[in-house]
Structure 1
Amino acid sequence: MKELTRAEEEIMQVLWTIGSAFVKDIIDQLPDPKPAYSTVSTIVRILQQKGFVGHKAVGQSHQYHPLITKANYTKSFMKGFVKRYFDGSYQEMVSFFTKEQKLSVSELESLVKDLKKLKTKKL
């Protein structure tokens, strides 16, 4: 799966939140300063070409909807992120964020608890 640019991701976040929308609806959900209609329309067409967005014709307009779930994109993105920045090691990534974000002992214990739950589900 291709990675989204910042602008593409911003639009996908809107579509993941509201489900389906016309370009005007997407613009309404974006923060100020609002991009031009033509800019958003172009990005949505690029997202269609990449296979992230589909559309339904409504009169002479198009209503857009996500074809990829946020969860699936996040999973794919994180795999690539860990591979590029942490040599594929999730342990290195957790260690980095533990040091940088100064996680508390209770937060780390909560992570360990969650990991143990996942491990038992897989067994």
Structure 2
Amino acid sequence: MQILWQLNEAIVKDIIEKMNEPKPAYNTVSTVVRVLEGKGFIDHKAYGNSHVYFPLITEADYRKFTFDKMMTGYFSNSYKSLVSFIADEKKLGVKELDELTRLIDELKSKQQ
């Protein structure tokens, strides 16, 4: 998706060219593209045997979709579990935890 947002439209070969090494097989990328199309995230224009793919969803909408799936699938919609996981996994120090606390305080004051 990130490559399609960057290019606006692309054939599978264009997508592969933008990927880091080691590059996946053409069939692998083609399969992922078809899955994304089946889910309604992208579409294509056909030019003979070639398909030019383009995103149907914005990066912000896709980010929200994937975040919502992650929250329900891995954290049972618990933001406390999410923050705890991030703090533990990334081994946040006192400075980072203070920044999170400051951000939370700012958000709380905006809601009042």
Deviates more, 1:55-64 or 1:84-93: 55-64
Give the structure 2 partner of residue 71 of structure 1. Answer: 60
Q: Deviations over 1:58-110 (max 9, x none)?
A: 56533211112222222222222222322211012112221232212221222
Q: TM-score, normalised by structure 1?
A: 0.70
Return the alpha-carbon distance in structure 2 between the equivalents of residues 44 and 50 of structure 1: 10
Of 55-64 and 66-75, the range deviating more from structure 2: 55-64
| d(CA) in 1 for partners of 2:30, 2:73 | 31
Q: Among residues 3, 12, 16, which one is paired with 1:23 in the alignment?
A: 12
Structure 1, residues 34-54: CA drift from partner, whole Å, max 9, x if none?
333343233322221210112
User: TM-score normalised to the size of structure 2?
Assistant: 0.75
Does 1:91 pair with 2:80? Answer: yes
Mean CA deviation greater in 52-61 or 42-51? 52-61
Residue of structure 1 in register with 2:104 after alignment: 115
- Cα distance change of structure 1 residues 84 and 28 upon mapping to structure 2, 3 Å threshold: same
Verify: 1:44 aligned to 2:33, yes or no. yes
What percentage of residue pairs aligned between the two structures are identical? 50
Q: C-alpha displacement at 1:15, in angstroms?
A: 1.4
Deviates more, 1:45-54 or 1:28-37: 28-37
1:62 aligns to what SS in structure 2? strand
